[in-house]
Chain A
Amino acid sequence: MTMDEADESLLEALLAGEHRALARVISKIENRSPGYRDLVSELYAHTGNADVIGITGSPGAGKSTLVDKLAEAYRERGETVGVIAIDPSSPFTGGAVLGDRIRMASTVGDMDVFVRSMSARGTLGGLSTATADAVKAMDAFGKDKIIIETVGAGQNEIDIVRTADTVAVLVPPGSGDDIQTLKAGILEIADIFIVNKADREGADRTVQELREMVHLGEESGLAGSAGHHGVDAMDGDGAGWDDVDESGDDTDDWTTPIVETVATKGTGVDTFIDELGNHRSYLVDSGTHAEKVRQRYAEEIRTLLREDVHALLEGELADSGGIDDLAEAVRQGETDPYSIATDVLAPVEACVENLAADADDSSAE
């Protein structure tokens, strides 16, 4: 890969620890500016040292406040912190108000906490790529801990936090009845549950309900902390995860802990940090970490290819008369989306077949 001179010096400045260079690189990643790919691929050589933590939960659960306290606690332990705070953008104008920074009051003035707000920019799937790349930039910059914070609203957000090694899900008290409905979504990805606002009424009940859910999941081997166990189970013969564990050590299952916090006062943050550390050790000791990282890279490769092919097809679409005309044709009842997709793809498929045929010819020679 080759980079132009400006990007070369930008990369050097980032590796040298210049904040502005890091900010600039993240902008390039967000904007998908020309050359950003080469830049990111150069970053990879310098990554792998940071712990990546994902924090998600419903709006108002206290994510930003907790992240603020977490960053402060890490700083007191002498570790540098990067925060990526993601807020939704308007589906109509693409505009966004990114308000997470306001809560990050404990660490302002400390440049070793690098807070970056990002918006969804209305791109499906694009944000998880951009987030993963921004994490790479912060990792290469030398941050010890990188925290990704996002509202847990749907599949897109789940994809984002999956770029983290450890995912903490905030469950505010009083969401008791919601737990059932959440079950098939965001709670499944939790490595750690946090009942924030634990001084509020109903917190005990929420803790109790989560505990029951976690235990239920353990007994049935289906729900609850399914994230990594699910993977193990799929790899094996399906006889239950104790048997399929590659290391043969059956004591290393992770039971999702439930931590009670009061983020505004900083209560419980140390326990949270301990659990984060425990989970990290679990990941490494059990070999799950390698598996997770492998999966993540596989997903990144797939996403990149999908986006590239998508870009390629946009050109084909334009050649076939443009998406608007095609859509109008469907509306008029002249054709249907499936036929159009087949037609648009036809020349691409032909190309790929030709390539395959050429390859066969040359190998036959």
Chain B
Amino acid sequence: MSSEQEAESIRCLVAKVGLDGHDRGAHVIARAFRDAGFEVIYSGLHKSPDQIVQAAVQEDVDVLGISILSGAHDTLVPKIMDGLAEYGAKDDTLVLAGGVIPDEDREGLKDDGVAAIFGPGTSIEETIEFVRENAPQR
């Protein structure tokens, strides 16, 4: 019984984690997601993994996009994944990583549960398309 057929919207958390003050990329993504019709929650800078998990759980996001340019992804991402698992949110949250992540680290992150990694040079359209196709159906 709904008069709004289009009521459902993809909810995304764009997160900056750890000691990393560069958020131009995160802003660009947030804006592009917004223009794609998603609901975007931006975490702000310098968040701890716990804070990201708290936001992801409370906001019940479909997609968590983590932007890391500090090189600390191997430490921070597993903490976030463990946190999500603790609240039973790991399996149905699409986790993406973006930023400067060397090729040799990518397999490890994917094993942790990151669905895709978008490095420098990825087109915005590609990212949006990926989200549209892979956002969990709940």
Interface residues of A (CB under 8 A from B): 19-20, 23-24, 26-27, 30-33, 37, 89-90, 93-99, 101-102, 105, 108-109, 111, 114-117, 119, 121, 123, 126, 307-308, 310-311, 314
B3 touches A307 (CB 8 A): yes
Contacts of A99 in B (CB 8 A): 41-42
B57 touches A19 (CB 8 A): yes
Q: How many residues of B contact A (CB 8 A)?
A: 37
Contacts of A116 in B (CB 8 A): 58-59
A32 touches B4 (CB 8 A): yes
A94 CB contact (under 8 Å) in B6, B57, B59, B88? B6
B31 within 8 A of A: yes
Contacts of B47 in A (CB 8 A): 108
Binary per-residue interface labels of chain B (1-44) against chain A in the complex, 1 for a CB within 8 Å, 0 otherwise: 11110111101000000000000000000110111111111111
B87 touches A89 (CB 8 A): no
The 5 closest A-B pairs by CB, nearest first: A102-B44, A23-B60, A95-B34, A32-B2, A311-B3
B127 within 8 A of A: no
B30 to chain A, nearest CB (A): 6
A96 touches B60 (CB 8 A): no
Interface residues of B (CB under 8 A from A): 1-4, 6-9, 11, 30-31, 33-44, 47-48, 50-51, 54-55, 57-60, 87-89, 138
B43 touches A95 (CB 8 A): no
B35 touches A93 (CB 8 A): yes
A114 touches B58 (CB 8 A): yes
B33 to chain A, nearest CB (A): 7
A88 to chain B, nearest CB (A): 11
B36 touches A23 (CB 8 A): no
A109 touches B38 (CB 8 A): no
Nearest B residue to A119, CB-CB: B39
**Contact A108 B4, CB 8 Å, known A95-B34, A98-B41, A101-B43:** no
Would you list 9 pairs from A and B whose C-beta atoms are within 8 A, ordered by A residue? A20-B87, A27-B60, A95-B35, A98-B41, A101-B43, A109-B51, A119-B9, A119-B39, A126-B4
A98 touches B39 (CB 8 A): yes
Contacts of B38 in A (CB 8 A): 95
A19→B41 CA distance, assembly (Å) = 18
Contacts of A95 in B (CB 8 A): 9, 33-40
A96 touches B39 (CB 8 A): yes
A338 to chain B, nearest CB (A): 22
- A94-B9, A116-B59, A307-B3 provided; 7 other pairs, C-beta below 8 A? A19-B58, A24-B60, A27-B138, A93-B34, A102-B42, A102-B43, A109-B54
Contacts of A33 in B (CB 8 A): 8
Nearest B residue to A21, CB-CB: B88
A68 to chain B, nearest CB (A): 12
B78 to chain A, nearest CB (A): 19
Contacts of B8 in A (CB 8 A): 31, 33
B50 touches A109 (CB 8 A): yes
A121→B88 CA distance, assembly (Å) = 27
Q: Which one of B6, B41, B44 has the greatest number of beta carbons of chain A within 10 Å?
A: B41
A116→B7 CA distance, assembly (Å) = 17
A108→B4 CA distance, assembly (Å) = 34
A96 touches B87 (CB 8 A): no
A109→B87 CA distance, assembly (Å) = 14
Nearest B residue to A100, CB-CB: B41
